[in-house]
């Protein structure tokens, strides 16, 4: 099991090296379909690695929101790797010109995957300080906008001719957000 965890840690580091090579600042400022899909794939793979190989979860189930106390050291290490890269590029905003449907879907997927990964790190933020870090406030604001307005990709600013993007209006589209909210509540 330790060998699998060691490999998972190394894979996670390599995934976020790839993240840096994708130029997330450029991709998020001026979204293009392929780089955005790669970033989303990295987020998805990282989440799966963390869930399946690094965390045991309190009941052994992947979907359990409560983090086992023995998982906190692994989660703290994951936080160091992830928080260096992801929060400054979350959420993706709608560019000044409304994107086509494929790009819109990719932006929605990116924001949902990033929120899911950041949501997993809430227990570490709750344990290590009285003042919430800025990324946690951004994540909470994202959750609120999704749940109150269905806005998964917010508009970049007042000069944008494009409005915010809602995600698909299915129960599944809100599952990552609801899991993140649950993780926040469990951590508090």
Written as one string, the DSSP assignment of 141-186 is: HHHHHHHHH-EEE-B--TT-SS--EE--SSGGGGHHHHHHHHHHHH
What are residue 166's DSSP bridge partners? 151
Number of domains in the chain: 1
Rounded distance, CA 125 to CA 122, Å?
5
Question: Count of alpha carbons within 13 Å of 163, Cβ hemisphere only?
Answer: 5
Question: 112 vs 64, which has greater pLDDT?
Answer: 112
Give the pLDDT confidence score for residue 52 in this predicted structure: 83
For the segment 29-61, what is each residue's pLDDT rounded down to a tens digit? Answer: 888 999 999 999 999 999 999 888 777 654 444
**Mean pLDDT across 132-149:** 89
pLDDT value at residue 162: 52
Give residue 168's pLDDT.
53
Residue 159 domain boundaries:
2-187
**Predicted TM-score of the model (pTM):** 0.84
**What local confidence, expressed as pLDDT, does residue 161 receive?**
46
Residue 110 or 123, more confident: 110
pLDDT category, 72, cuts 50, 70, 90?
A: confident
Averaged pLDDT, 101-110? 92
């Amino acid at each position: 099991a330790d060998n699998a965890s060691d490999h998972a840690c190394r894979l996670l580091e390599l995934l976020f090296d790839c993240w840096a090579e994708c130029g997330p600042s450029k991709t998020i400022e001026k979204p293009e379909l392929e780089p955005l899909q790669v970033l989303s794939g990295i987020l998805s793979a990282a989440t799966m690695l963390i869930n399946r190989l690094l965390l045991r979860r309190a009941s052994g189930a992947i979907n359990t929101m409560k983090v086992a106390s023995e998982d906190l050291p692994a989660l703290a290490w994951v936080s160091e790797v992830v928080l260096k890269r992801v929060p400054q590029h979350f959420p993706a905003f709608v560019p000044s010109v409304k994107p086509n449907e494929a790009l819109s879907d990719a932006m929605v997927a990116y924001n949902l995957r990033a929120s899911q990964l950041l949501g997993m790190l809430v227990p570490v933020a709750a344990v290590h300080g009285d003042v919430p870090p800025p990324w946690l406030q951004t994540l909470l604001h994202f959750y609120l906008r999704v749940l109150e307005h269905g806005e998964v990709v917010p508009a970049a600013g007042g000069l944008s001719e494009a409005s915010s993007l809602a995600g698909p209006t299915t129960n599944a589209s809100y599952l990552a957000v609801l899991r993140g909210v649950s993780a926040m509540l469990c951590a508090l």
